[in-house]
Amino acid sequence: MPETSTKPYLIRAIYEWCTDNGFTPYIAVFVDANTSVPREFVKNNEIVLNVSFDATSGLDMGNEWITFSARFGGVSRKIDVPVENVLAIYARENGQGMAFPVERSLPETQAATERENNPPPKLAPVEAETSATTTDAGPGDDDTPPPVPRIGSKKPALKVVK
């Protein structure tokens, strides 16, 4: 018997932590053909959904699907999200939560369109350094901040929870 994924359990745990602490749980979702969400709110194949008790009706967070009804522009819509498409769950108020890796499989025609509309960036060639210098700089001595990892085209808003 194959092992059950820990992902749906972790999503439910973070959801419970958010509600126990009075925070608003949000999920970031990768949208593909299996995801049923209002497409007019999808940007870069991603959508962020408020899954709080006040924002949803009939919320069911199962091992395979997260389903509920929610209002968008005053109109009730049925939402069906495969658990495997959840990118993150976090508290709106402080950004604490958990992010997950997601296989981003697009239908070939959509993938071709995405490649045409968003070609990969041209990278500058890496030049070898002509002289190497060593310094005894300690941690924090470098004024250059590390590069910020990106999900899609947005700056991530999650914080590391220890």
- Residue 135, pLDDT score: 38
Q: How far apart, in whole angstroms, are the C-alpha atoms of residue 42 and residue 119?
A: 20
pLDDT digits (tens, 9 = 90+) for 98-143: 999 877 655 544 554 555 555 555 445 544 444 343 334 444 444 4
Q: Give which of 44, 52, 50, 62 is closest to 4, Cα–Cα.
A: 62
* Whole-number percent of the chain with pLDDT over 90: 59
- Residue 114, pLDDT score: 52
In terms of CATH, what superfamily is 7-108?
SspB-like (2.30.30.220)
Q: Give which of 100, 98, 102 is closest to 89, Cα–Cα.
A: 98
140, two tokens: 């924090």
Q: Which stretches of the chain are assigned E, i.e. beta strand?
A: 25-30, 46-50, 56-61, 65-72, 75-82, 86-91, 97-99
What is the reported pTM?
0.64
